Structure formats: structure tokens, C-alpha cells
Structure 1
Amino acid sequence: MKTLIIGGPTAVGKSEIACEVAKRIGGEIISADSMAVYKFMDIGTAKPLECMGEVPHHLIDVVEPGGYFDAKIFEEEARRLIEEIKEKGKVPMVVGGTYLYIQALIYGIDDTPKPDWNLRKKLYRIAEERGKEFLYEKLKVVDRVYAEKIHPNDLRRTVRALEVFINSGRPFSSFHSWDKPKIDFVGTYLKRDIKNLYRRIEDRVRDMVKRGLLDEVKRLLDMGYEKFLTSGQAIDYKEFVPCAKGKKHIEECIREAVRNTKEQAKRQIRWFRKQNWHEIDLDSLGKEGAVKRILEIYNKQKYEDTLGALEKGLR
């Protein structure tokens, strides 16, 4: 049984489509969202709370904000879950837009040096003294391949990549191999017209604010997670910290969140377009049409696999 991957940029509508597909094929969803793994962060990560009550979800709410979780951990946990789901006779579905996680799952990551917390503290201290940009420029010198995959403000990933390079003498990207897939999967990519996607991003950010995103940010600040929230990774959170502290007007924070989310979506789109997966155009197909198309693709692949196995057994 192949794993079904449903990917796409933020706000394209992955969760809604995946939930309906899962209900029809007996699927269990493994979240490939680098922020959904964190507890207490529901609104800003757009966790599919309603669907979670109908379809089993995995790798959501598994670590405290600021806790350690990376692509290698995701790879190991997702592979374990895929096997467990198959053993139950269910369809494993990987759903999300964090392409670094999806890439790690498909192709694997060599074992990297264990976290060096002392070195990491030094690197964070350098970032505080000289700025995130200083460390990112250093990363571009030693590992341009990986630097181009992450946002310049993503301090957590920048620090990890530099830490690995310093301790191993190898660029972080050299631990990643992108040639032969290590899992059997069917890849689907949800897309929309870019103008429509941008409108959805703007609407989603404003809807998050209406549903209490500022209160969620304030609670996280009260819990002591400010450094995590202001990291480059925490889009739709870091932009609202100044508002939660009364230092910026809400409209300014919304504009910044929308801008950063659009930039994130551009990077996601570039990656998914390169994968040669089945493209599902939500603008032309609509929700029901997209669900039917994904089911057709998956069932066709399942039929071809069964036929191939039968032919092999008759030889």
C-alpha cells in the first residue's frame, strides 16, 4: 500500500481536502507542518481541529513550544507511523506544506551530529549581538544550497545548519540525498491561481485575528515562549508579538503577517512545482472535484500495483 501525499502552499485548502479524502479511503493523516507539532498553538497554525475529531491525526501537539523537533525526527516518526497505519489496514496520508519535512521523509537524511547546546547558545548570542542576517550570511558561505531553502529570518534552522557544519565539517545539505525515494508514495500537489491564493492568505490572517490569535500569542508570552515566537520559523506568531505588547497597531501586524506568509507560499510553490507530482487545480475542480481526482489517482495507482504484483507472481 502506497503512502498518499497531499502537499501545497499555505492557505491553499489542504486540510479540508485531505479530511474528505481520508474519510472516503480509510486514511490516517500524518501532519507535515513544522509548526503544528507544537502544543498551545492552534489558531496561528490553523490546526484542523474539527477534522481531528473525525479522522486520526499524527504529529500534531507533540512538543512544547521551543522544544526540539527537526526534519530528521519527522522522518523517523513519520516512517514509523506509516508502518503502524499500514498494519491496521488503513491508508497512510502525509499532508502539509513543510517541504523540508516531506523531502526528508521521501529521500531520507543521514544521521547528523546530535544537538550541541553549548555551541547553539553561542550562536544565538551572536545573533542577538550582530543580528540574524549576520549568521545567515555565514551560512550562505558554507552551505548555499541549504541557505537557499530556508527564509533568511529562520534563525532556528540557520543555527542548526551552522552547528552541524562546525561540528562535522560538512554542509548540512550534504546530509540530504535527493536521488532515490525511500518510500513508496503517490504525490499530489494542490494549487490555485496566485492572486486567488494571496486573497485566501489575507482572509485567513484576518480570520485568525477574529478568532483570537492575539489572545493566543499573549498566553504563549505569559508562558515564557517569547524567544520561540520571535524566531523566523514562527510565521503568523512573531508578527503579532509587538501587537500583544501594545507596541504596534493591529493593522501593521496583519500586513507583516500577510507579507511573510505570501513569501512562504512562494517558496512552497517553487518546491512542489519541481516534484513532477499530480497537480490538482482547486480553482477549476472545486472541493468535490479535487477529492474525486485524488481518489482516481490513488485508486489507479493501487490497481496498477496489484496488477504488477499479480503479473510478477505468474512469471
Structure 2
Amino acid sequence: MSNLPPHNLLTVLGPTASGKTRLAVALARLLDGEVISADSRQVFRGMDIGTGKDLHEYGTIPYHLINILDAGEEFNVFAFQRLFLAAFEEIRCRKRLPILCGGTGMYLDAALRGYRMVAVPENHELRAELEQRGMEELAELLRNLRPELHNSTDLLDRQRTIRAIEIAQYEREHGHESEPFPDIRPLVIGIRWERSELRRRITERLQQRLEEGMILEVERLHQAGVSWERLDYYGLEYRFIGAHLRGELSRNDLFQKLNSAIHDFAKRQETWFRRMEKHGVKIHWVNGDADPLAETLEIMRQVS
């Protein structure tokens, strides 16, 4: 084991608008790497501005787990882990460096913490029973099965709540049987900004995305058949813009409320990263307002 390199996966994480993609791409160019997205929404085609894909930044750098599903389809952390592990092995087989990049905490956990998630089969009898229950009753049932519930998005969509109950019930009955986890030795880089500067970047980025046509993007998705309920499930930008398009929010209220919600979301991301550290994930923090690329390369030299 002593002859193995200290890491075989480089990870770049940080809150929204922190410059993760730019740093990951710069590292990929220097280190002969390929980027794997750890974002719960960038998997969907047609959801570009609202998810902040910034595909123009990649240039010739290969990327994975972006634009692999049609908007409206279901995607979850189990599917992410399976696809991440496949991409990781594929990139390693090409003798290149996998670079995981994103800010979705559960997805990062699924890649970094060494537990393999179980494929839970559908329980049609249980589903038929749950379909008869109201949303409040379903939410209470899920909380009883999972008192530590941290993924509140499971409570925003009825079918997602039913699936979460199905998984929790299966795990209670069968335990956490799982396949061995691959040998992944991650070096984790986190981008940190001073709070007021991050807030400024978030606001500036939101203004830019609105000017680039984010409202039109959401309108087109709905016209293509994606329901308002499904758009709500896809996160803040789609939820607030959907309310605006339905006449529930003025243009000014849309900006003010969405901007505030994204600031709160960034705080929750930072809380998640601190939780990851408490659970044993070593994060090497670099300063976003300095030279994060140079700092990252120096960290890599120190740990090699």
C-alpha cells in the first residue's frame, strides 16, 4: 500500500458562485484530468442557465454527468453514485485524473465517504398503500422512519416522498447490505470566500443569469411538458421563476426573494461542508479571492 499515490481523485467543492468549475477546469488542463459533476440538476438537458452549467468554461476538457437526462426525468443520489463510480473507473482506465466538482452535499458524501448505496427494488404493495395517504401523513411516516432526515427535498414532491419511505422501509427490514466500495483516495479542495464578497458574487451572478434568459428557459421547459410541480422540485431558480410566470410574483419580487433564498442556500451548503469535516472528510481550504489554483497546486505538492 505504501507504493500507492496519496490520492487518485481530486475534488473541488464550495458554495454556489464560488468559482468551482473554473478551478476544476484549470486543474484538469494542468493535470491531464476530466471533470465529474457533483450537481443534482446539471444532469438535465435544457436546464442550463438555471443550474449554472457554465459549459463555455470547459473548452476541450471532457466532462461527465452533465446533460445525460431529459428535463422532467427522475434522478437521485443512488443513481448519481452508480454513475460517478462508473465515470471514475473509466477515467482511471485512460490513465487520467478524475476531478469531482460540485456543491450538492449528499452527492459529495456519496462519492467521498466510502459507503455503497443499495439498489432498493420497488414495493408495489407498499406504494399502493401509501398512495391512499395524505402528504402530511406521508411526511410524518418518513420522519418516523428517518428521524435524522436532512434531505428536506424528499418532502416537496409526493412521489419522491413515497420513494424515500420505500427505501427507508427496505433498509429497516434488510439492513445496509452493500457491495465493497472501490479504492478511492480523495484530495478535497474547498473554495472559501469572505461572506460579504460571496453575497456580492451571488447577487451579481443572479443578475447575469436573468439577463441571459433564465426566465425564458423556465418558460420553455414548462411549454415542453415539464409540470410546475416538477420545476418546483428542481430547486430555487425554477421554483421562484415558475411562481413569477404564473403571476404570483412581480419581476422585482422575483429577484429580491430568489436572491435572498440563494444566499440562504449558500449558508446551508457551508453548514453541510462543516458536517462533512466532522464526519472525517479532510477539506483543504483555499481562498477564492487570492489564487486558488496556485494554492491548490501547493497543497498537492505538500501531500504528494
Q: How far has the Cα of 1:282 moved from its partner?
A: 1.3
SS of equivalent to 1:28: strand
More helix by share: 1
Instruction: Please name the residue that 2:235 is paired with.
Output: 234
Q: Does 1:38 align with 2:40?
A: no
Question: Which residue of the other structure, out of 116, 135, 140, is the alignment partner of 1:109?
Answer: 116
Q: TM-score, normalised by structure 2?
A: 0.84
Distance 1:8 1:154 in 2: 25
1:129-162 deviations in Å (ceiling 9; x for gaps): x55x6644443232121x2243576436544322
Q: How far has the Cα of 1:75 moved from its partner?
A: 1.3
State the superposition RMSD in angstroms. 2.8
Identity fraction in percent: 29
> Partner letter of residue 89 of structure 1?
K
Q: How far has the Cα of 1:240 moved from its partner?
A: 0.4
> Partner letter of residue 164 of structure 2?
A
Give 1:267-278 correspondences, 5 Å limit: 267-274=268-275, 275=277, 276-278=282-284
Distance 1:45 1:257 in 2: 14
Q: Does 1:144 align with 2:152?
A: no
Q: Does 1:296 align with 2:302?
A: no
Q: Does 1:165 align with 2:172?
A: no
Question: Which residue of the other structure, out of 85, 106, 110, is the alignment partner of 1:79?
Answer: 85
Question: Which residue of the other structure, out of 16, 39, 43, is the alignment partner of 1:10?
Answer: 16
Distance 1:40 1:169 in 2: 35
Q: How far has the Cα of 1:124 moved from its partner?
A: 7.5
Give 1:82-101 correspondences, 5 Å limit: 82-101=88-107
Distance 1:193 1:121 in 2: 50
Aligned length: 288
User: Is the Cα–Cα contact under 8 Å of residues 81 and 117 in structure 2 kept in the other structure?
Assistant: no
SS of equivalent to 1:187: strand
**Any unmatched runs of 5+ in structure 2?**
none
Instruction: Please name the residue that 1:310 is paired with.
Output: none
**Any unmatched runs of 5+ in structure 1?**
304-315
SS of equivalent to 1:170: helix
Instruction: Please name the residue that 2:63 is paired with.
Output: 57
> Partner letter of residue 75 of structure 1?
Q
SS of equivalent to 1:9: coil
SS of equivalent to 1:254: helix
Q: Does 1:23 align with 2:23?
A: no
> Partner letter of residue 29 of structure 1?
V
> Partner letter of residue 108 of structure 1?
Y
> Partner letter of residue 116 of structure 2?
I
User: Is the Cα–Cα contact under 8 Å of residues 205 and 236 in structure 1 kept in the other structure?
Assistant: no
Instruction: Please name the residue that 2:220 is paired with.
Output: 219
SS of equivalent to 1:89: coil
Q: How far has the Cα of 1:196 moved from its partner?
A: 1.9
Task: Identify if the C-alpha distance between structure 1 residues 193 and 116 changes in structure 2 by more than 3 Å, giving closer, same or farther.
Answer: farther
Distance 1:50 1:259 in 2: 27
Q: How far has the Cα of 1:108 moved from its partner?
A: 2.4
Task: Identify if the C-alpha distance between structure 1 residues 111 and 190 changes in structure 2 by more than 3 Å, giving closer, same or farther.
Answer: same
Q: How far has the Cα of 1:195 moved from its partner?
A: 2.2
Greater shift after overlay, 268-277 or 206-215? 268-277
Task: Identify if the C-alpha distance between structure 1 residues 121 and 52 changes in structure 2 by more than 3 Å, giving closer, same or farther.
Answer: farther
SS of equivalent to 1:5: strand
User: Is the Cα–Cα contact under 8 Å of residues 108 and 182 in structure 1 kept in the other structure?
Assistant: no
Task: Identify if the C-alpha distance between structure 1 residues 117 and 94 changes in structure 2 by more than 3 Å, giving closer, same or farther.
Answer: farther
SS of equivalent to 2:204: helix
> Partner letter of residue 114 of structure 1?
P
Q: TM-score, normalised by structure 1?
A: 0.81
> Partner letter of residue 229 of structure 1?
L
User: Is the Cα–Cα contact under 8 Å of residues 143 and 171 in structure 1 kept in the other structure?
Assistant: no
Greater shift after overlay, 133-142 or 47-56? 133-142
Task: Identify if the C-alpha distance between structure 1 residues 221 and 183 changes in structure 2 by more than 3 Å, giving closer, same or farther.
Answer: same
Task: Identify if the C-alpha distance between structure 1 residues 194 and 247 changes in structure 2 by more than 3 Å, giving closer, same or farther.
Answer: same
